Structure 1
Amino acid sequence: MTFFGRSLLAFAFLLAGSPGVLAADVTAGDLVIAQPWSRATPGGAKTGAGYLTIENKGSAPDRLIAVSGDVAGRIEVHEMAVTNGVMTMRPLEKGLTIEPGKTVALAPGGYHLMLMDLKAPLKQGDKLPLTLEFEKAGKVAVTLEVQAVGAKGPGGEGGSMMKQHDHSGMKM
């Protein structure tokens, strides 16, 4: 293997083991909150969005009723839907219910955390501390990891290089 190939492979291993690639799950009561992330915003943008998954491992529903954080003047739980062929977005005034045994994904194009009146642009690599408030599980601290502007999920568009390529046949 060439020096370039060894360097590329070492870089791939470094990325795969990087703590910024994927945040640890947070447990609160019967809830498991995973993969909190956001996208970088263009300069001057006053809104951003946050995404994560919430799994309810309990036998009773819980509800996300509020979100707070210093990154924005106001944070709401929103829903996007297509109504008569038109994409609409609205706040969930009564919160977001997580049924027992179910996982709810807050992801682009669906439920999401709407960060309004941003105090500064969101930059790739930033870590945004937020507090989620649940009806039963109470207040839970999470950190959104800011990905690239066009990221499709946590860890960037395609995840780490090790997920994209099989290096099992390479010799060092």
Structure 2
Amino acid sequence: MKLLAITALLVCASGHLYAQGVEVSNAWVRTSVQGQKATGAFMTLTAKEATKLVSISTPIAGVAEVHEMKMAGDVMKMRALPGGLDLPAGKAVSLTPGNYHIMLMDLKAALPKDSTVPMTLLFKDAKGAESKLELKLPVAVSAPGGMAEHKH
């Protein structure tokens, strides 16, 4: 299996990152306090061709997984997506609080506001080719205003 590591990123003024046919926008990590063991990371992913987000790694957490939250009757349930997250061609997939998101567990330290979190996303395309995307996500209390919407 061919692994293509993407280390050079193009950061546009709009806060979008592009690599290997996947656009990442509105990316951020929720703050945490000392002793807190989990938090979430959120972003919008748009792939040019059908792709799958298969894994996430970061040095700040012992475990990083794509999770799904959904209602089961009157109970909100959260579970890991063991096969990864499908990214249909040309369709934006939002990872947001209360929906799909990246769960960061076994945090090694508190994540204060205005710090950054290094994160590596591993994608696999329909042909089985893998690519990595290295990110530095801002830490915030909530979705940063300038990243949550475009103002003209």
- The match for 1:108 is 97
The one-letter code of the counterpart of 1:107 is T
| Shift in Å, 1:132 | 0.2
1:120-135 matches, within 5 Å, as: 120-135=109-124
- Ranges of 4+ aligned residues in structure 1 off by more than 6 Å: none
Higher strand share goes to which structure?
Answer: 2
TM-score, normalised to structure 2's length?
0.81
- The match for 2:59 is 70
Aligned-pair identity in percent equals 38
Matched, 1:140 2:143: no
The one-letter code of the counterpart of 2:57 is S
- The match for 1:169 is none
| Shift in Å, 1:23 | 7.6
Q: How many residues align?
A: 134
| Shift in Å, 1:155 | 3.8
- The match for 1:33 is 24
- The match for 2:71 is 82
- The match for 1:47 is 38
Provide, for residues 55-83 of structure 1, a one-character-per-residue CA deviation record: whole Å limited to 9, x for no partner: 1223xx10000000101011001000001
The one-letter code of the counterpart of 1:105 is S
Structure 1 Cα separation of the partners of residues 145 and 98 of structure 2: 18
- The match for 1:56 is 47
- The match for 1:96 is 85
The one-letter code of the counterpart of 2:105 is M
Structure 1 Cα separation of the partners of residues 124 and 106 of structure 2: 26
TM-score, normalised to structure 1's length?
0.72
Unaligned runs of 5+ in 1: 1-21, 164-172
Structure 2 Cα separation of the partners of residues 135 and 116 of structure 1: 23
Structure with max Cα Rg: 1
Higher helix share goes to which structure?
Answer: 1
1:24 alignment partner, SS class: coil
The one-letter code of the counterpart of 1:50 is A
Q: Of 126, 136, 144, which aligns to 1:154?
A: 144
Unaligned runs of 5+ in 2: 1-12
Structure 2 Cα separation of the partners of residues 56 and 74 of structure 1: 25
